[in-house]
């Protein structure tokens, strides 16, 4: 009886040890995933005023850490559908679109050459007039952004904002927002220059699919927020060395 009990306990301990090791590996993989995409999220935050934490959280929630079919087959990490102006590659997958009879029908989603191209296009997607109110929020207000994205219809999930906020706080994604804010605290940023509204598609035309896919990251020169201010900031990891 004692031998059986000891064996059972040993089996339980081995199982717990295996599960703990597996959990640690999963967390390590997720942290590596975040570190891969954090630089581009921070760069776009500095350039256009979209919180890095929001961009990272949306990519995680929408793509399930890059494991969704849409991410695997189309490099679409943000669930962005085609829309009338999209002239790039597409993929048809069932989502939430229905016909007149209420039957689920395939939805048209954008397809990209790389995950990075998806991240870039997500920035242009949020520059639509539909989301302009978000750019009036404090740059560190990730909760306001999450709630605004849900309210403005980015996703149909009624718990979308909660999912984003929980993801940001669980993985401390707001630290990337604070790092970008720290870079922006410079004499150039605090100069007495009047703020201008965030750019919209009416004044800023999105690049072509080819440009999104192959354009290099901007180097030292970056546009901060939506203001007509240029400042020299350190190169981010992966940036090309420009002449």
At residue 2, the pLDDT reads 56
**What is the mean predicted confidence (pLDDT) over 128-138?**
93
**What is the mean predicted confidence (pLDDT) over 66-83?**
93
Spell out the domains of the chain, with CATH numbers in brackets.
21-232 (1.10.530.10)
| Most confident option among 133-137, 213-217, 228-232 | 133-137
How far CA 86 is from CA of 110, 198, 219, in Å, comes to: 8, 22, 28
* Least trusted range by pLDDT, from 17-21, 116-120, 229-233: 229-233
Band of pLDDT at residue 57, cut at 50, 70 and 90: very high
At residue 4, the pLDDT reads 55
β-bridge mates for residue 109, sequence order: 81, 91
Residue predicted with more confidence, 102 or 124: 124
Band of pLDDT at residue 117, cut at 50, 70 and 90: very high
**What is the mean predicted confidence (pLDDT) over 33-45?**
94
Q: Terminus-to-terminus CA distance in the chain, angstroms?
A: 77
């Amino acid at each position: 009886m004692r031998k059986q009990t000891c064996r059972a306990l040993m089996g339980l301990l081995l199982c717990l040890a295996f599960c703990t090791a597996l959990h640690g590996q999963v967390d390590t993989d997720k942290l590596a995933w975040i570190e891969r995409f954090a630089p581009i999220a921070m760069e776009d935050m500095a350039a256009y005023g979209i919180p890095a934490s929001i961009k990272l959280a949306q990519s995680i929630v929408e793509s399930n850490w890059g494991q969704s079919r849409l991410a695997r087959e189309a490099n679409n990490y943000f669930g962005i559908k085609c829309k009338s102006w999209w002239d790039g590659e597409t993929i048809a997958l069932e989502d939430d679109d229905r016909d007149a009879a209420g039957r689920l029908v395939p939805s048209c989603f954008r397809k990209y050459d790389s995950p990075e191209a998806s991240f870039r296009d997500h920035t242009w997607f949020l520059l639509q007039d539909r989301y302009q109110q978000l750019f009036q929020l404090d740059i560190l207000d990730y909760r306001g952004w999450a709630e605004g994205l849900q309210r403005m219809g980015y996703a149909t999930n009624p718990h979308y904002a909660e999912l984003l906020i929980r993801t940001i706080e669980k993985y401390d994604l707001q630290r990337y927002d604070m790092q970008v804010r720290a870079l922006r605290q410079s004499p150039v940023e605090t100069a007495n220059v009047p703020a201008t509204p965030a750019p919209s598609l009416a004044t800023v035309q999105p690049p072509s699919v080819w440009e999104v896919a192959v354009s290099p990251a901007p180097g030292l020169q970056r546009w901060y927020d939506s203001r007509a201010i240029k400042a020299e900031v350190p190169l981010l990891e992966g940036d090309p060395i420009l002449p």
